[in-house]
Amino acid sequence: MKIAGIVALVAIALAPFLSTSQAVANMALLAALAVAGGQAWNIAGGFGGMMSFGHVAFFGVGAYTTAILQTRYGVNPWLTLPIAGAIAAAVGFIISWCCSRAGLQGSYFALVTLAIAEAFRILANSLDFTRGGLGISLDLNLAASNFQFSDKRVFYAVALIVALAATLVCWWITRSRFGARLIAIRENPDAARALGVDVSLTRAGALALSGAVTALTGVIYAQVFLYIDPNIAFGVWRSVDMMLVALVGGSGTIVGPIIGGLVLHLLSEGSRELIDIPGFAPALYGIVLLLIIGLLPGGFARLRHA
C-alpha cells in the first residue's frame, strides 16, 4: 500500500518531463512550488503546531534577497539560494525565539506572524534599497549558469528538488530526536519542558528550517518571473495558500501537503478553465477549507485511517 503510493507519486512527479509542452511544464512548476511551500509550512505549522499566518515573510525574504544580491551586487543567482535560505532561517529563528520567550502561541503566534509579514511588506514598499513599490526586475539572460532556463521543465526539476527536500525534512522529523521533541511540544509544551526539552530552542529550530525552505521557493519564483514587488513578495494571500495546502492535505503528516498541493492546484487550474473570473478559484479554496474542517478535520491524508 505504502510502496504503491510512493510509486504513484514518483510517476506523477516524473510525468511532466515526458511532455514537451511548456504549458504543461509551467503547470507542473507551479504545482511543485505549491507543494514545496505547503511542505515548508508543515515543518513548523504541522509538526510543531505553530500556526503561522505570515509565512509569506520568508518567501519574500528569499525573493528579495536574490533580486537585491543580483541587481545591486552582481552575485550569481545560484549562490543566492544558500544565502537566502540562511537569512530566512535567521529571521525564522529570531521570530520564534522572541515569541517563545514572550509565551506567545496559538492564535497569538498566528497574529504576530501576520503582523511581521505586513511590516516587511510596508518596508519593501517604502525603502529605496528595495526600490519601493516599483519592484525589482531581473535582466533576461537565459543561461544555466545564470539560473535561467528557456525550457520550463528545468525550473520544474529545481522546484521538484526543493519540494523533495522539504518532504525529506518532514520525514526526518518523524524519525529524529529533534522531531520527537518538536511533536512533544506541540502536544503539550509544559509536559515537554518538564521532561527537559528546550522549548524555545526546538521551536526556533523548526521555524528556521521551515523559513529556509520557504525562502528557496521565493528565489525560484523570482528566477522564473524575473520580477517581484512588495505585493507579490509579501501579499497575505500567499501565506494563506501555503497554510491551506498543508491543512487541506493533512498538516503534521508527510504526504498531506503533497496531496493538498496537487488537489488545490488542480482545482484552481480546472476552475479557471470553466469560469475565468478573478477571485473564483480562491473562493473555491475557501469552500474547500470549510468542507475539510467540517467533514475531514485531519485533511485528506487522514482518510486512510477512517
* Strand pairing class (227-228; 136-137): antiparallel
Helix (H, G, I), strand (E, B) or coil at 143: strand
Which of 99, 157, 206, 264 touches other proteins (CB under 8 A)?
A: 99
DSSP state of 281: H
Q: Please state the separation of Cα 274 from the chain's center in Å.
A: 27
CB of 132 to other proteins, least distance (A): 7
Which of 10, 134, 168, 283 touches other proteins (CB under 8 A)?
A: 283
Measured from the CB atom, the residue of 107 and 141 that comes closer to other proteins is 107
From residue 112, alpha-carbon distances to 36, 68, 93, 128, 194 in Å are 23, 26, 14, 26, 26
Rounded CA-CA distance 264/56 in Å is: 18
CB of 148 to other proteins, least distance (A): 31
Q: Binding mask 230-269 vs other proteins (x if CB under 8 A, - otherwise)?
A: ------x---x------x----------------------
CB of 146 to other proteins, least distance (A): 32
Measured from the CB atom, the residue of 10 and 127 that comes closer to other proteins is 127
Binding residues for other proteins, total number by CB under 8 A: 41
Residue 293 interacts with other proteins (CB under 8 A): yes or no:
yes
Q: Which residues are CB-neighbours of 283 under 8 A, at least 6 positions away?
A: none
Residue 7 interacts with other proteins (CB under 8 A): yes or no:
no
CB of 73 to other proteins, least distance (A): 24
Residue 114 interacts with other proteins (CB under 8 A): yes or no:
yes
Place of cell 545591486: 72
Rounded CA-CA distance 47/5 in Å is: 22
Positions in 124-183 near other proteins (CB under 8 A): 125-127, 132-133
Rounded CA-CA distance 262/34 in Å is: 8
Measured from the CB atom, the residue of 204 and 220 that comes closer to other proteins is 204
Measured from the CB atom, the residue of 41 and 149 that comes closer to other proteins is 41
Closest CA to 163 of 208, 214, 204, 203: 214
CB of 117 to other proteins, least distance (A): 9
Helix (H, G, I), strand (E, B) or coil at 198: coil
Rounded CA-CA distance 114/55 in Å is: 8
From residue 297, alpha-carbon distances to 2, 256, 293 in Å are 22, 12, 4
Measured from the CB atom, the residue of 57 and 216 that comes closer to other proteins is 57
Part of the chain binding other proteins (CB under 8 A), chosen from 10-18, 179-187, 212-220, 276-284: 276-284
CB 226 within 8 A of CB 137: yes
Which positions touch other proteins (CB under 8 A)?
A: 51, 98-99, 102-104, 106-108, 110-112, 114-116, 118-119, 122-123, 125-127, 132-133, 236, 240, 247, 277-280, 282-283, 285-287, 289-290, 293-294, 297
